[in-house]
């Protein structure tokens, strides 16, 4: 993934490293980045796709099947059925941050933008495999800034810690798999924090169960995976 980040500037619509990033003074140290070309050069929704699925009265177009070959850089070899259902890491040609890539679980299955236990475990394996605390993954549900209804995670590098990583927390409970669940405390954004567990599987199951619960109750949400997959933030939202 680190090697992939080094070639992004030759494959994307603009060079993200040419624009300034700064920490805003104040209590929280929010990070601001100038990225004005993105709204002008972001690739529009694809219509040249091979499959169109009918769901009720809505057509669902699967964009990632139409990605250019040069955008898909490699298949992940975590403990999943890679040969029959490959999960790929693809260049984001309209990046937000340095090294911005997309993790697309089981790309040929044309999964909708809904987390399940298998896809979330893949995201944690990806974070752990990168082995770099500056590499983080995120997920936006529909209604929480996801624009494509095809399952994908966002990932990128940033040398600075996100302000949310330094936010105070207050413990709520410890799950049966020894996963510690806390809430953000004295912070302008509400959310849950998951960490620990007897295994990566335990941590993944606990977080994915919470995500599935939100999905079933039609509540949009965002996820941030940090610390090489050892800590996960979950932010329930209102529809954006």
pLDDT at site 151: 95
In sequence order, the 6+-apart residues with CB closer than 8 A to the CB of 53 are 59, 60, 62, 110
The secondary structure of residue 12, as a DSSP letter, is S
In sequence order, the 6+-apart residues with CB closer than 8 A to the CB of 69 are none
In sequence order, the 6+-apart residues with CB closer than 8 A to the CB of 48 are 66
Domains in the chain: boundaries: 2-159+169-236
Q: Whole-angstrom Cα distance, residue 234 to residue 240?
A: 16
Q: Whole-angstrom Cα distance, residue 86 to residue 78?
A: 10
The secondary structure of residue 3, as a DSSP letter, is H
Catalytic residue list: 152
CB atoms within 10 A of CB 36: 9
The secondary structure of residue 16, as a DSSP letter, is G
Q: Whole-angstrom Cα distance, residue 95 to residue 116?
A: 25
Least confident of 32-36, 58-62, 81-85: 58-62
- Phi, psi dihedrals of residue 231, rounded to the nearest 5°: -145, 130
- Phi, psi dihedrals of residue 222, rounded to the nearest 5°: -125, 150
Digit-coded pLDDT (tens) for 154-206? 998 888 888 899 999 999 999 989 999 999 998 999 999 999 999 999 999 99
Digit-coded pLDDT (tens) for 73-116? 445 555 555 456 788 888 877 777 777 889 999 888 889 999 99
């Amino acid at each position: 993934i680190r090697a992939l980040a080094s070639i992004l500037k030759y494959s994307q619509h603009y060079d993200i490293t040419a624009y300034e990033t700064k920490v805003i003074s104040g209590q929280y140290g929010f990070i601001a980045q100038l990225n004005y070309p993105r709204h002008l050069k972001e690739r529009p929704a694809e219509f040249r796709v091979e499959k169109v699925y009918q769901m009720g009265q809505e057509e669902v177009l699967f964009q990632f099947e139409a990605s250019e070959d040069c955008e898909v850089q490699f298949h992940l070899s975590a403990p999943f059925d890679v040969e029959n259902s490959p999960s790929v890491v693809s260049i984001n040609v309209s990046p937000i941050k340095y090294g911005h890539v997309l993790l697309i679980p089981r790309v040929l299955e044309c999964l909708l933008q809904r987390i399940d236990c298998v896809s979330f475990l893949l995201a944690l394996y990806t974070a752990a495999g990168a082995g770099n605390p500056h590499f983080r993954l995120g997920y936006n549900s529909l209604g929480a800034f996801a624009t494509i209804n095809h399952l994908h995670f966002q990932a990128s590098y940033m040398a600075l810690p996100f302000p949310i990583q330094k936010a105070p927390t207050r413990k709520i409970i410890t799950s049966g798999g020894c996963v510690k669940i806390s809430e953000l405390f004295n912070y302008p954004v509400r959310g849950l924090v998951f960490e620990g567990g007897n295994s990566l599987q335990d941590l993944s199951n606990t977080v994915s169960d919470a995500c599935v619960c939100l999905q079933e109750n039609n509540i949009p949400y965002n996820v941030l995976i940090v610390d090489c997959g050892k800590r996960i933030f979950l932010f329930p939202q209102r529809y954006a």
